Amino acid sequence: MKLEFPKGFIWGCASASYQIEGAPAEDGKGPSIWDVFSHKPGAIAGGFTGDVACDAYHRLDEDLDLMGNLGIPNYRFSISWPRVIPQGTGPVNEAGLAYYDRVVDGCLARGITPWITLYHWDLPQALQDKGGWESRETAEAFAGFARLIADHFRERVHHIMTINEPQIIVGLGYGAGLHAPGLKLPADRLFACWHNVMLAHGLASKEIRLSSPDYRIGLSSTGALGYIADHTEETPADLPEFSFHTLKPDEPADPSSYCWFNHHWFLDPVCLGHYPDDPDSPWASCAEGVSQSDLDLICQPPDFIGMNIYNGTELDPQRGYAPAPKYPGYPRTSLKWPVTPEVMYWGCRQIYERYGLPICITENGQGCHDRIFLDGKVHDPDRIDLLHRYLGELSAVCADGVPVLGYFHWSFTDNLEWHSGYDDRFGLIYVDYRDQRRIPKDSARWYSDLIHR
Ligand code: GCO
């Protein structure tokens, strides 16, 4: 498979604060919803928490050295809101901000460009106590946090992503109860959360633009994407069936489950200024009540659309674009996600054709049950094969003229895979959680070689 990318293509790795940092109460940090949720019995597989995770808070230099030595040119990380503003609003925790100064300066000193994600799910618990994303005040508080970060880093950072995956924040956190804060709200209250997350993007984007015109603003979206295996030039990219459902397209429709928020419910209001015209959606009646002034606040088109793409659903045109049946033994990752490289091609094309904005792959990778082999190394041919296939499709969509700015591998180190715990490893760098030893996997060398061909 050809792996050819446009000149200036951005290569990087990604991480998120709660998944790697540990140090949940150190140096003045306030608790996040994940600090609280993870301690509930049964919340995380194996009964683990993120209290230590990869101990990245204390091992920053070691991790950045590894990244620098591999020559990874860009690092997407998230800032823990309660580490910086312990109560979500009000006094700033200077020690928390100083940690992210060290992250940013440490990147720059090693020739790595820092990309900030403002919200990767660790909401201050103090805000959850006042309603969390059900409350509009959370969106307003988020804009304040965004402004603080934008002002603080504007000389050193030029890429900020507002929200990572509203689909998961609301669906899994407030609908299915699998993620923090572990709620199962009815449909109308779930939509209120959704709308406030949309407002958070809009209000924050405005603040970032006011802070500096030099910022390139992004967001990260996820959701089910469909594709047709035997496609031709004529296959339209923007079939509604290609993205209608999220995560579990073959599940029965259930407004209280997380499967209904898709890319369009996020990107239409943000980029086009209205919720999708989708009468069959369980959210259609909720969206009717939204005011024009709110839609105006939300409509802050980003400079690039970040897509987190892991898998998609093959659709069968002969059967009304229903999901194509899977053969026995279909290739899957350790989390049982199907291996479907074509989704890279179709996902990018579809989103570009609908919104006309540059795309950046802000996450892609594979969960594996990696382990240390007898020779002391971590061999991960599965991951290398998956990356090769998915990047081959990405290369093809670039060749077909879709402006893809770059690709961030998820993740740099192994880390806490949310409610699934620590078994499913996504890193290029293996973490031995017994002693926090880092071992670059074969894929780390492969990825580095790809970047530096
Ligand atoms: C997400 C999150 C990451 C996950 C990764 C693998 O996109 O779900 O951004 O935090 O760990 O995607 O599931």
Q: Can you give the residue ranges of every domain in the chain? A: 10-452
168 CA closest ligand 1 atom index: 8
How would DSSP label each residue in 26-60?
GGGPPPBHHHHHTTSTTSSGGG--SSSTT-TTT-H
According to CATH, what is the number of the domain 10-452? 3.20.20.80
Confidence tier at 10 by pLDDT (50, 70, 90): very high
Q: Does 309 contact ligand 1 (Cβ within 6 A)?
A: no
From ligand 1's centre to the CA of 410, what distance in Å? 8
Distance CA 74, CA 69 (A): 13
**Is residue 443 pLDDT above 60, yes or no?**
yes
Atom 13 of ligand 1, nearest CA residue: 417
In the chain, % of residues over pLDDT 90: 85
Q: Does 363 contact ligand 1 (Cβ within 6 A)?
A: yes
Q: Does 413 contact ligand 1 (Cβ within 6 A)?
A: no
From ligand 1's centre to the CA of 434, what distance in Å? 23
Please, what sign has the CA dihedral across residues 28, 169, 307, 264?
Answer: negative
The whole-number average pLDDT for the span 31-56 is 98
Q: Does 16 contact ligand 1 (Cβ within 6 A)?
A: yes
Q: Does 168 contact ligand 1 (Cβ within 6 A)?
A: yes
Q: Which of 21, 134, 165, 393 is catalytic?
A: 165
Atom 4 of ligand 1, nearest CA residue: 417
pLDDT tens readout for residues 135-161: 999 999 999 999 999 999 999 999 999
pLDDT tens readout for residues 357-383: 999 999 999 999 999 999 999 999 999
From ligand 1's centre to the CA of 183, what distance in Å? 19
Q: Does 164 contact ligand 1 (Cβ within 6 A)?
A: yes
Cα 368-369-374 angle, rounded to 5 deg: 120
From ligand 1's centre to the CA of 222, what distance in Å? 9
**Is residue 252 pLDDT above 50, yes or no?**
no
Which pLDDT belongs to residue 56? Answer: 98
pLDDT tens readout for residues 390-412: 999 999 999 999 999 999 999 99
The whole-number average pLDDT for the span 23-52 is 98
Per-residue burial over 389-424, b if 16 or more Cβ lie within 10 Å, else e, is bbbbbbbbbbeeebebbbbbbbbbbbbbbbbebbeb
Which pLDDT belongs to residue 351? Answer: 94
Average pLDDT, the chain: 94
From ligand 1's centre to the CA of 416, what distance in Å? 10
Which pLDDT belongs to residue 315? Answer: 85
- Cα distances from 168 to residues 69, 150, 302, 441, in angstroms, run 33, 25, 20, 29
Atom 7 of ligand 1, nearest CA residue: 308
**Is residue 254 pLDDT above 60, yes or no?**
no
From ligand 1's centre to the CA of 436, what distance in Å? 21
Q: Which of 118, 179, 308 to mutate to test the pocket of ligand 1 (most atoms within 8 A of CB)?
A: 308
Q: Is position 363 annotated as part of the catalytic site? A: yes
Which pLDDT belongs to residue 247? Answer: 39
Contact residues for 285 (Cβ-Cβ < 8 A; gap 6+): none
Which pLDDT belongs to residue 242? Answer: 62
Q: Is position 342 annotated as part of the catalytic site? A: no
Q: Does 308 contact ligand 1 (Cβ within 6 A)?
A: yes
222 CA closest ligand 1 atom index: 7
Q: Say whether pTM exceeds 0.85.
A: yes
415 CA closest ligand 1 atom index: 11
Distance CA 200, CA 269 (A): 12
Atom 9 of ligand 1, nearest CA residue: 164
**Is residue 280 pLDDT above 80, yes or no?**
no
Q: Which of 17, 311, 363 to mutate to test the pocket of ligand 1 (most atoms within 8 A of CB)?
A: 363
The whole-number average pLDDT for the span 17-40 is 98
